[in-house]
Amino acid sequence: MFATPRHLKHQIRPAPRTISNDLWAKLLWAGLNLRAEDCPLRGHHRTRRWVNKADQKQPAPEDFEPYYPLEMIRALAIVWLFAGLRSDEIARLRAGCARMQTVIAGDEDTSSKPVCLLDIPVHKTGRAFTKPVDPLVGEAIAAWEVARPAQPTLIDPKTGEQVQFLFCYRAKRLSKTYLNHTLIPTLCGRAGIPREDARGSISSHRARSTIASQLFNAREPMTLFELQAWLGHQSPATTQHYVS
């Protein structure tokens, strides 16, 4: 009796929760200029040296260390800002997933430009696939893989395979809540913007919506079907929710 009438439902159009251009530009700047002092700290100190020996409750500031290495946090931020992935896909990326490739630009012009090919694992709507992303993604991942200590193989919860996760540290893969509860608030603080805007809180999935909308409305835009393949959707109807 109280359901929304069908003729009203047909008038409802998709409303992607994109981030406004000014806020998005500040987030990009924050991700590209992330510093060690911006990174979240561990919840405990690594030594027993105190600022004041009489006060046994306050450790020295330099006794704290980042929860994850700076190279890992930078790579994670760049992937979130440029790759257009779901949070689960980011957490389940595998070591060696990024490779740089040179593309020849134009027929007469022999100039070339690098592109990064990123291997996306099996996700909720389809099989594993590879897509091109900004070279910054490949550079950030390569820097993290150089600094990344050896990690054991862990079981992928979606496929049951034993794999080497890219974002793995201290034998544990990236926490499910790290993006929304830690990294994104850190980037917002670095950029000097609020955690919420007119469309709600800035969450991990809103970057995917923003990137998809920008690619569809660019000067040389992707077609709907190209964007569908880039996002990994099985149906173009799903992609329309990101570009309407």
Give the model confidence (pLDDT) of 161-191 as tens digits. Answer: 999 999 999 999 998 889 999 999 999 999 9
Q: Are 29 and 191 in contact (CB under 8 A)?
A: yes
Give the closest residue to 114 by CA, choosing from 98, 94, 90, 95. Answer: 98
Give the model confidence (pLDDT) of 139-160 as tens digits. Answer: 999 999 999 999 999 999 898 9
Structure pTM? 0.82
Quickly tell me which residue has 């929760």 as its tokens. Answer: 17
Give the model confidence (pLDDT) of 101-130 as tens digits. Answer: 887 665 555 567 788 999 999 987 788 999
Q: What residues pair up with 31 in beta bridges, in sequence order?
A: none
Q: Are 151 and 168 in contact (CB under 8 A)?
A: yes
Quickly tell me which residue has 């950029």 as its tokens. Answer: 191
Q: Are 213 and 243 in contact (CB under 8 A)?
A: yes
Q: What is the DSSP letter of 62?
A: G
**Rounded CA gap, 191 and 195, in Å?**
10
pLDDT-based confidence at 73, cuts 50/70/90?
A: very high
Give the closest residue to 102 by CA, choosing from 123, 79, 129, 132. Answer: 132
Cα atoms found within 13 Å of the Cα of residue 226, Cβ hemisphere only: 9
Q: Are 65 and 41 in contact (CB under 8 A)?
A: yes
The pLDDT of residue 115: 87
The pLDDT of residue 47: 44
The pLDDT of residue 45: 41
Give the model confidence (pLDDT) of 8-29 as tens digits. Answer: 766 655 566 789 999 999 999 9
The pLDDT of residue 101: 86
Q: Is 219 exposed, middle or buried (0-12, 13-18, 19+ CB in 10 A)?
A: exposed
